[in-house]
């Protein structure tokens, strides 16, 4: 009897779960503007390393050059790591996805040797945001402690089209927002997790039904559609998503 009761509780719990969906995204093939001020891509293209480690030690015991890779940090969060390439002066050809570099947040670019026993740090650059002097479509070279250097080019971020609601729960009379991208029509309109979308274009979610509501929400940014939203505190607001781009950034 006890086992049966537990099974009934589990089934009941599963029955209360709401299905989750996301709005669709499609890549933008042409140049997109305006981009967020602090989102970029970095194309690492060259690394130059001293012939020996500090203390005049060889990089590898067998005398071979190091296997070099780059790590990028925002604060203490690792947001990009390249694949290792062997050599003292190497072409990395490693381009990051969109990265968020707020000018007031500490950042680091680190160069590592992928040793067979344990990776070791070759050199580190520390600062806030992008390195000083780095600008879009310009080549920059930074000197790391340890006398290694890294060359890279700053590229414009890649954009997508969509509303920018990455997760929402489908309920009978509302679409409950779970996650929103900051740099997106939904994020710029002020939509936040916990908001309940109760109508799209003046038509209630209950009348639209799940399939039509999902399609209307995905099209909302392209048609500048009005969303009626019930906030967590009970207030109801009308929001209009702009027809701008989505910028997904780590």
Residue ranges per domain, the chain? 19-34+160-240, 39-155
Share of the chain above pLDDT 90, in %: 69
- Give mean pLDDT, residues 106-125: 91
Contact 165, 180 (CB under 8 A): yes
Residue 207 CB contacts under 8 Å (≥ 6 apart), including other chains: none
pLDDT band at residue 29 using 50, 70 and 90 as cut-offs? confident
Q: Encode pLDDT of 177-233 as tens digits.
A: 999 999 999 999 999 999 999 999 999 999 999 899 999 998 887 777 899 999 999
The answer on pLDDT for 9 being more than 90 is no
Structure tokens at 33: 């503007």
pLDDT at 28: 87
Cα distances (Å, whole numbers) of residue 152 to 35, 71, 140, 160, 207: 20, 13, 5, 24, 53
- Give mean pLDDT, residues 23-42: 88
Cβ neighbour number for residue 94 with a 10 Å cutoff: 18
The answer on pLDDT for 78 being more than 80 is yes
User: Which architecture characterizes domain 39-155 according to CATH?
Assistant: Sandwich (2.60)
Residue 249 CB contacts under 8 Å (≥ 6 apart), including other chains: 36, 39, 97, 98, 99, 100, 157, 183
- Measured in degrees and rounded to the nearest 5, phi and psi for residue 216 equal -65, -35
The answer on pLDDT for 14 being more than 90 is no
The CATH code of domain 19-34+160-240 reads: 2.30.42.10
Give the whole-angstrom CA distance, residue 112 versus residue 143. Answer: 14
Share of the chain above pLDDT 70, in %: 93
pLDDT at 31: 80
Q: Encode pLDDT of 89-107 as tens digits.
A: 999 899 999 999 999 999 9
pLDDT band at residue 30 using 50, 70 and 90 as cut-offs? confident
pLDDT at 204: 96
Q: Encode pLDDT of 158-186 as tens digits.
A: 999 999 999 999 998 999 999 999 999 99
pLDDT band at residue 11 using 50, 70 and 90 as cut-offs? very low
**pTM score over 0.95:** no
The answer on pLDDT for 4 being more than 70 is no
């Amino acid at each position: 009897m006890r086992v049966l009761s537990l099974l009934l509780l589990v089934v009941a719990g599963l029955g209360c779960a709401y299905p989750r969906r996301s709005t669709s995204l499609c890549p933008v093939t042409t140049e997109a503007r305006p981009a967020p001020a602090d989102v970029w891509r970095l194309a690492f293209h060259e690394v130059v390393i001293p012939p020996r480690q500090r203390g005049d030690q060889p990089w590898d015991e067998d005398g071979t050059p190091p296997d070099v890779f780059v790590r990028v940090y925002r604060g203490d969060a690792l947001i990009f790591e390249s694949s290792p390439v062997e050599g003292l002066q190497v072409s990395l050809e490693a381009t990051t996805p969109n990265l968020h570099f707020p000018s007031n947040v500490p950042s680091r670019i680190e160069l590592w040797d992928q040793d067979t026993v344990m990776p070791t740090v070759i050199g580190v650059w520390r600062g806030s945001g992008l390195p000083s002097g780095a600008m879009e479509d310009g080549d920059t070279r930074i000197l790391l402690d340890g006398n290694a250097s890294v060359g890279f080019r700053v590229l414009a971020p890649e954009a997508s089209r969509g509303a920018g609601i990455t997760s929402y729960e489908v309920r009978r009379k509302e679409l409950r927002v779970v996650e929103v991208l900051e740099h997106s029509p939904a994020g710029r309109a002020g939509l936040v997790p916990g908001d309940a979308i109760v109508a799209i274009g003046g038509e209630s979610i209950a009348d639209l039904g799940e399939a039509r509501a999902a399609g209307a929400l995905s099209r909302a940014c392209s048609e500048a559609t009005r969303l009626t939203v019930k906030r967590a505190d009970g207030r109801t607001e009308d929001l209009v998503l702009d027809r701008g781009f989505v910028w997904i950034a780590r």
